[in-house]
Structure 1
């Protein structure tokens, strides 16, 4: 004995169950006119019910408790904003922030909407503040991001419909100091000091290069690249440094491993020196002749 069930949900929450019992072992029953008429009526009702349902009658099943995870790169010294999930304030019951900073216990800040009560646990960094009052806007902000603000910021809003989460992974960008100087034995050194994240170094013209990274306790990285040229006719070398804060190109003129000045620069220096000596000699001579005339 087999049972075929047709279930259709009607507008307004009503449900229509259309069931027909069919004995698959009795093939002769399917030939009876009465059964055929009943089966035809069932199919007509199913088609009519399906045609009467509109698209607007369906309700999307929303998933509660989903985590929104966003990575935010922010340059050190600028402002950072952390937003909670988009939930109407009238539906919020409890707003909780969990702030995890480097080398510190998690800071937990909770706000009870009904009583407007704020509770804090292990929160010592007063640079992290509310944008407004939490009942108006539950977002947090840092006016001037520091290196130790690098970590995670999580917001949970509890409502009668469930919990809503948002997590912000803050990556503090530190612009490095870039220098290029001549090394020993036909080499040039490009050094990118205390940047975050680590910078990348490229050279031109072609040569042999060796790059080393040095990590510091505060999360910054110093990258030092040494470039060596083989051809003796290399007159200048260029170092390209790429970083999240931007790119920079440095160049240096080479003369067997040391910086060299152009002929124009040498002539300028020589002219200035000769002019100074001429002025000094004129002053000394003028004083000498003045004294000589005075004693006469």
Structure 2
């Protein structure tokens, strides 16, 4: 009986030793819950260990297949399987094993496991990523003066209703980031003097807003601006008419003074002298030609009379 008890104690010791060995070789650092805003970046780190020989990220998103990033540090070799370009190492995996997700989407929600290997064994860090979406509600008047209500939320789409009841049907559009935008345009035959009120219902958003798109409010500023411009124009015209009525001239044309040319006797002499010299030269030439002609016409032996 004592031998049986000893065997039972020995068996329990062996089981405990094997359990401790498994825990040493394969340790899980715990589950961390992280959150990231839609469209922003998320960073997750691995267990801080030294002399790491291999690091692997295993990603199991809520939508889509599993993605794997691995790096063999000793061989300086990286591998990736079925991972989006938005999911990558934050820097160099040989000295920083953190994972970065850029422009987080709704489909990125899920579990992220980092496994590092060194001489002491395998160590795991498990993260659960939750994407935070801040719902958006917009209420405005379109170009025709009709109230429009918009609500952007995560799936399922938000529900929009009006008070008084609207005859239009809301339109839902899916966005690339995983959200849904619902648009509803108010259309009713009568509001009974009440401003339309938009009611948005969703798990992440419940809001109610009234709006007034009546012309008296929409065009009040425009009417005031038109009146001010008209008054400025009337005032300007009145000032111009008043100034002209009293003989005021904006522009005075001045006649340049008459310039009387001045002449001197020296200028007259300078102008006459070339002509006098020219006439004298012409007379000398004429007299010489006349004398020559006369000598040719006289009989031989007779000289012209002087």
Q: What TM-score comes out, normalization by structure 1 length?
A: 0.52
SS in 1 for 2:170: strand
Q: Which residue of 2 aligns with 1:140?
A: 99
Number of residue pairs matched? 241
More displaced stretch, 166-175 vs 274-283? 166-175
Q: Which residue of 38, 45, 55 maps to 1:75?
A: 38
Unmatched tracts of structure 2, length 5 or more: 253-306
Q: CA RMSD in A?
A: 5.7
Task: Within 5 Å, give how 1:98-113 maps onto structure 2.
Answer: 98=58, 108-113=68-73
Kept after mapping to 2: 8 A contact 1:71/1:168: yes
SS in 1 for 2:126: strand
Q: Which residue of 1 aligns with 2:194?
A: 235
Q: Which residue of 2 aligns with 1:52?
A: none
Q: Which residue of 2 aligns with 1:49?
A: none
Unmatched tracts of structure 1, length 5 or more: 16-57
Instruction: Report the structure, 1 or 2, having the larger helix content.
Output: 2
Residues 161-182 of structure 1 show CA distances to partners (whole Å, capped at 9, x for unaligned) of: 5563635556475876835336
Q: Which residue of 2 aligns with 1:280?
A: 236
Q: Which residue of 1 aligns with 2:78?
A: 119
Task: Within 5 Å, give how 1:1-296 maps onto structure 2.
Answer: 9=9, 13=13, 68=31, 72-76=35-39, 78-84=40-46, 87-90=47-50, 93-98=53-58, 108-113=68-73, 115=74, 117-121=76-80, 128=87, 130-131=89-90, 133-134=92-93, 136-142=95-101, 145=103, 150=108, 154-159=112-117, 164=124, 166=126, 168-169=128-129, 171=131, 173=133, 178-181=138-141, 188-192=147-151, 200=158, 202=160, 205-208=163-166, 210-216=169-175, 219-227=178-186, 232-239=191-198, 251-255=210-214, 259-261=215-217, 268-269=224-225, 271-285=227-241, 288-289=244-245
* CA–CA distance in structure 1, aligned partners of residues 34 and 14 of structure 2: 46
* CA–CA distance in structure 2, aligned partners of residues 201 and 288 of structure 1: 68
**Shift, 1:272, TM fit:** 1.7
**Shift, 1:140, TM fit:** 1.5
Kept after mapping to 2: 8 A contact 1:69/1:168: yes
Q: What TM-score comes out, normalization by structure 2 length?
A: 0.50
**Shift, 1:139, TM fit:** 1.5
Residues 51-88 of structure 1 show CA distances to partners (whole Å, capped at 9, x for unaligned) of: xxxxxxx98x9696879585734231x3311233xx45
Kept after mapping to 1: 8 A contact 2:150/2:181: yes
**Shift, 1:214, TM fit:** 2.3
* CA–CA distance in structure 1, aligned partners of residues 65 and 239 of structure 2: 74
Kept after mapping to 2: 8 A contact 1:149/1:172: no
Residues 238-291 of structure 1 show CA distances to partners (whole Å, capped at 9, x for unaligned) of: 335588998887542144xxx442897587446424422323323542574487
